[in-house]
């Protein structure tokens, strides 16, 4: 098993890509630490993993709170060890031109998508560097490499995630710690549903979205989880500072 005896911490793991990643890592032998602000959802994911024979523990975590992030990571490292951090928690925003977006929306996106990833790296790196091994996988987006129209704040935040990952990879590599980013295309999650529900014609918007993908479908969370698993495991032992695009050919 690819993650046997490893402790993998996943943020935003109560649903969507985070949940799929937690389940996939558990299948590969990891002790999965499920974290989320959604206590009920997170506890349910952890319980389901254990019911299926895996090992999982839930910790409530608001990624925007630096002190809380440090406290949770310190507690996990002391009790369970720490081998992999998956900074998955993220958010989007309603579509609109840059000048129409309110400062509150911009700041909300920055707090979760940028500061949340920063806080995770800031908390985990001392532990990973001290022990001389480990991996960080940050979840970016197609918006990490493309400027999406009417998604300026989101594009800014996900672009920052990719470049932050490169900086971490450069700094932490000499200590045996790798950092990479997964850049998914649109994925069948509740976040996508919320995005489509804000459109004038959600069904038409979905069809138009699918038409842009050469595979003529959107990603399933499990497909993104497999990419995260690869970057978290030793199968990617010489992959560092990379943005792995998983978009069904959209960017091609």
Known catalytic residue at 213: no
Among the listed residues 59, 154, 175, 213, the single catalytic one is: 154
116: its two tokens: 């949340």
The residues, ordered by sequence, that sit 6+ positions from 211 with a Cβ below 8 Å of its Cβ are none
127: its two tokens: 């532990």
Distance set, CA 162 to CA 98, 171, 213, 234 (Å): 21, 15, 22, 21
First-to-last C-alpha distance (Å) of the chain? 33
Per DSSP, 112 falls in state I
Q: Which residue has the tokens 């704040």?
A: 153
Q: Report how far residue 58's alpha carbon sits from residue 81's, in angstroms, rounded to the nearest whole number.
A: 15
Q: Are 52 and 19 in contact (CB under 8 A)?
A: no
Q: Report how far residue 7's alpha carbon sits from residue 45's, in angstroms, rounded to the nearest whole number.
A: 16
Q: Which residues have a catalytic role annotated?
A: 154
């Amino acid at each position: 098993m690819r993650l046997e005896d490893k402790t993998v911490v996943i943020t935003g793991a109560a649903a969507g890509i985070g949940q799929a990643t937690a389940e996939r890592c558990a299948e590969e032998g990891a002790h999965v630490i499920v974290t989320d602000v959604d206590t009920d959802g997170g506890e349910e994911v952890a319980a389901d993993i254990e019911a299926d024979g895996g090992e999982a523990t839930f910790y409530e975590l608001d990624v925007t709170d630096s002190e809380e992030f440090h406290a949770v990571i310190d507690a996990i490292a002391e009790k369970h060890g720490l081998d992999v951090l998956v900074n998955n928690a993220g958010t989007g925003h309603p579509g609109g031109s840059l000048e129409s977006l309110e400062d509150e929306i911009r700041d909300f996106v920055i707090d979760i998508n940028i500061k949340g990833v920063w806080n995770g790296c800031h908390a985990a790196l001392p532990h990973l560097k001290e022990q001389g091994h480990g991996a960080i996988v940050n979840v970016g987006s197609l918006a990490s490499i493309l400027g999406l129209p009417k998604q300026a704040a989101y594009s800014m935040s996900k672009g920052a995630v990719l470049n932050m990952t490169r900086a971490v990879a450069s700094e932490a590599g000499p200590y045996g710690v790798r950092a990479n980013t997964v850049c998914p295309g649109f994925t069948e999650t509740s976040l996508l549903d919320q995005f489509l529900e804000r459109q004038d014609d959600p069904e038409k918007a979905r069809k138009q979205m699918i038409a842009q993908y050469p595979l003529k479908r959107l990603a399933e969370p499990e497909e993104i989880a497999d990419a995260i698993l690869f970057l978290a495991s030793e199968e990617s032992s010489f992959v560092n500072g990379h943005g792995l695009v998983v978009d069904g050919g959209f960017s091609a």
